[in-house]
A and B are shown apart, each in its own frame.
Chain A
């Protein structure tokens, strides 16, 4: 029984990251109809930006809260800017082209980011200073650390913030309008190009924050870290109904749980078979995702 609870805790931690990254996929797909393959690499850039901040501040360990906050902020802002830059340079010029061109551009951007960081870091792993060794909340047969709790709380806060932004602000409303129908939104006076950039900024911001949190929690980062987690987050986005934000959050956590329980009760070798098997099954039987695509109005 205690093992079951432990798998649950492990799965929720993994799921918190996946949900944050998956939201970026989902948001961007919603407004541009683009699966942004570079999103996982934007996450990776965030981790490196946070690492750079901590190193510059001279943090070597211990619980340095201001430095951590600074790292998350710098990481998120960096990726926000990088993500917007990518959109401006590579995607916006292609908006009128067939969708395949956008997709290929995204793959190109992904490879360029990965290889670029690979060259800059000599393909070496970097290690974050140990800042989250804050001890255990539960230390019996089930273990929960303060680090895990902080992580989950921060993820939930970011997701709640996003939810408020999308539902309560003018920009958020415009974004939803854009997701429903680009031309109609334009007719209503929405500046489509600008709004697309805002969407990329917000989506990349979340990925960057996730990247720094990832670095703080796992401590080891590398140029290739965004690949596998990006694929899984993408699966979560599809599973939740791409474009559907609450569905994506739930699906992100669900994929985290699948990863944990499959390692526990099947074998971790089968994890990807199960996750991507789910992806295929969803695409085959419920192409709009388990929770349905929100933008059903789209003809």
Chain B
């Protein structure tokens, strides 16, 4: 999710060419036509993910989770008596490969797609699936534009960056009773988007944004920025950038003896932060989508995943698991493998019991229930802190229910 959006930075120019290539390829593929809306053989679900390259570990986690979900469905008798088969495609987290992966999946006759990691790879893939009416359920790409421009054929089991901003603002103004709020980003698409979203919501809730600016990633010494922030006398500083800077901010905030609360977004929950900041990390609060270990309903999945892969699930494994499950459910409901029917069925799903919480999609394809929670560093580890209750107005302990 978060990592994904940063990748958009240098890849815009590639994105254009890749979309161009997609446009050329689509009619060709349509002409070949796999024509598989018939009713025999396995039901194929496509999983695009970065299986090689820098983000390969995240991609492998996602693919492994999809396979766990499929195995579980098949063990329970499959969908309409047909097995579910996962078809993988490597998008390498790039726009070019994203378009090619989409093409490959369509050619192999997938009825729906559940996966993806980098928003940059998803962007060119969306119109390719869209033209064939194949629904795309994202598990990790949080950039708001994806479902905004998805024409109702794109869904996601993960959250949206702007929704995270809203949750952060609610937490700061509600739970922390902060009046003066400072926002710090790093000028990447993701971080700036999250800071803007948080700023809007803070103002809506009657808070005051006393500082909103960017630091420059990669320079290690942020004490000048922190001194500047402190001079605006904020109650809370919400940092929306990445983990590499977050740890340094915590450490230098302590060195400078600053007393405002430091919070961060979901790109700051990496364990590097804890090592860098050491004891200075204590009390740090981050907004994030819940991790597998904080989701009581995910216990069975976690043990199945561990048994199959001999490793702990990654941060997005639970969202991929739910994505595959919800697609299977939609195929079952629709009683058809036609993309348009599955899309319609996905929109009709109400309170599907996912391991990440009940799943209902709004018109755009985003989840209607508040997804983000807060975690806090306690004894050198991120632990679940508070979450919004169903009404979206009150904060309760994240561990309960």
Residues in chain A within 8 A of chain B (CB atoms) = 3, 6-7, 10-11, 13-14, 61, 123-125, 127, 130, 133, 136, 139, 143, 145, 147, 214, 218-220, 222, 224-225, 227-229, 259-264, 267-269, 271-272
Contacts and interface: CB of A to CB of B under 8 A. Distances in A.
21 contacts: A3-B231, A6-B223, A7-B224, A10-B221, A10-B223, A10-B224, A130-B279, A133-B279, A143-B257, A145-B255, A219-B248, A219-B276, A220-B244, A220-B247, A225-B220, A228-B219, A259-B221, A259-B224, A262-B224, A264-B224, A264-B231
Given A7-B227, A10-B221, 20 more contacts: A10-B223, A10-B227, A13-B221, A124-B272, A127-B272, A130-B279, A133-B278, A133-B279, A218-B221, A219-B276, A219-B278, A220-B272, A229-B220, A259-B224, A262-B224, A264-B228, A268-B213, A268-B216, A268-B225, A271-B216
B256 interface: yes
A127 B224 contact: no
A143 B255 contact: yes
Nearest to B221: A14
B330 to A, nearest CB: 38
Main secondary structure of the interface of B (DSSP, over half): helix
Nearest to B256: A143
A129 B201 CA distance: 39
Contacts of A11: 224
B214 A268 contact: yes
A220 B224 contact: no
Contacts of A225: 218, 220
B218 A264 contact: no
B224 A214 contact: no
Contacts of B219: 228-229, 259, 271
A222 B221 CA distance: 14
A211 B371 CA distance: 42
A30 B187 CA distance: 38
A218 B244 contact: no
B225 A218 contact: no
A12 B106 CA distance: 59
A100 B316 CA distance: 48
Nearest to B255: A145
Nearest to B245: A220
Contacts of A262: 224
A61 B247 CA distance: 17
Contacts of B213: 267-269
B297 interface: no
A219 B251 contact: yes
A269 to B, nearest CB: 5
Contacts of A147: 255
Nearest to B187: A269
Nearest to A261: B224
B304 interface: no
Contacts of B187: 269
B349 interface: no
Interface residues of B, number: 29
Interface of B: 54, 187, 213-216, 218-225, 227-228, 231, 244, 247-248, 251, 255-257, 272, 275-276, 278-279
Given A3-B231, A268-B216, A260 B224 contact: yes
A214 to B, nearest CB: 7
A253 to B, nearest CB: 14
Top-3 shortest CB links A-B:
A263-B224, A127-B275, A260-B224
B218 A268 contact: no
Contacts of A123: 54
Contacts of A259: 219, 221, 224
A11 B223 CA distance: 9
B220 A214 contact: yes
A182 B276 CA distance: 47
Contacts of B216: 268-269, 271-272
A214 B257 CA distance: 21
Q: Which of B213, B221, B231, B278 has the most CB of A within 10 A?
A: B221
A100 B247 CA distance: 41
Contact of B276 (A220, A260, A271, A272): A220
A123 B225 CA distance: 27
A12 to B, nearest CB: 11
Nearest to B215: A268
Contacts of A224: 218
Nearest to A269: B214
Q: Which of A6, A123, A225 has the most CB of B within 10 A?
A: A6
Nearest to A259: B224
A268 B221 contact: no
A6 B227 contact: yes
Contacts of B214: 267-269
A264 B222 CA distance: 11
Given A136-B257, A139-B257, A3 B227 contact: yes
B216 to A, nearest CB: 6
B213 to A, nearest CB: 5
Nearest to A219: B276
Nearest to A257: B224
